[in-house]
């Protein structure tokens, strides 16, 4: 059983180094190229995607004509609350930035979600997909996917900042019994 975790391609707000959370931002020109490059690289199977436009657009761009694309709001990015739409450089000046970097597993975004809440909804969606599909592509977001990968690798959310997932990156997940092997975490074409 193989599953492919795809971080959406570059959005206009990624390009501007602005936190998005649940904001909708279109793909940048580079993002459209990244998404198109994924087409045909992945197996022809069902694609489930966040309902936010940057993920939906990525999913539709990489889908072959025969592939079904299913939106699922549980795959959304973390709701970063008051940080949504704020340039990262300004967020880094916040007194909350250091606690987020030091202890992401204990952090709640101001006016938004905790990463534990994000992880719970991602795990719930993933476990549901395990029952329904033997092969699947999941298109989601940076923090959301990182919380899921921590779970699949039996890592604490405290390890969230220990690895990166570039835009349009692929992580292959193989189920072996009750365990998961994550290969090429954050691999980019």
**Catalytic residue list contains 142:** no
pLDDT tens, residue order, the chain (189 aa):
899 999 999 999 999 999 999 999 999 999 999 999 999 899 999 999 999 999 999 999 999 999 999 999 999 999 999 999 999 999 999 999 999 999 999 999 999 999 999 999 999 999 999 999 999 999 999 999 999 999 999 999 999 999 999 999 999 999 999 899 999 988 887
Asked if residue 19 lies in contact with residue 83, where contact means CB atoms within 8 angstroms, the answer is: yes
Instruction: Name 143's Cβ contacts closer than 8 Å, sequence gap at least 6.
Output: 77, 78, 115, 118, 160
Sign of CA dihedral 139, 136, 186, 59: negative
Considering the candidates 10, 16, 17, 77, report the single residue annotated as catalytic.
77
Between the alpha carbon of residue 73 and those of residues 78, 108, 118, 130, the distances in Å are 11, 20, 11, 17
Number of domains in the chain: 1
Q: What pLDDT is attached to residue 9?
A: 98
**Catalytic residue list contains 8:** yes
User: What's the domain range around 103?
Assistant: 2-187
pTM of the shown model: 0.96
CATH number, domain containing residue 47:
3.40.50.1240
How far is 7 from 146, CA to CA, in rounded Å? Answer: 10
Q: What pLDDT is attached to residue 131?
A: 94
């Amino acid at each position: 059983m193989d599953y492919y975790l795809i971080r959406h391609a570059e959005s206009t707000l990624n390009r501007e180094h602005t936190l998005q959370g649940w904001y909708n931002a279109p793909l940048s020109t580079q993002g459209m190229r990244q998404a198109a490059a994924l087409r045909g690289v992945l197996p022809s199977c069902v694609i489930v995607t966040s309902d936010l436009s940057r993920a939906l657009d990525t999913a539709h761009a990489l889908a072959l004509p025969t592939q079904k694309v299913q939106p699922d709001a549980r795959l959304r990015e973390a709701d970063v609350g008051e940080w949504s739409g704020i340039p990262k450089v300004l967020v880094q000046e916040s007194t909350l930035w250091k606690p987020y970097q030091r202890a992401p597993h204990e952090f709640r975004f101001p006016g938004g979600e905790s990463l534990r809440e994000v992880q719970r909804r991602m795990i719930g969606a993933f476990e549901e997909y395990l029952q329904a599909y033997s092969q699947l592509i999941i298109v989601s977001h940076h923090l959301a996917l990182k919380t899921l990968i921590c779970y699949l690798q039996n890592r604490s959310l405290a390890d969230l900042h220990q690895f990166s997932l570039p835009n349009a990156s692929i992580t292959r997940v193989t189920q072996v019994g009750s365990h998961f092997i994550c290969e090429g975490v954050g691999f980019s074409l």
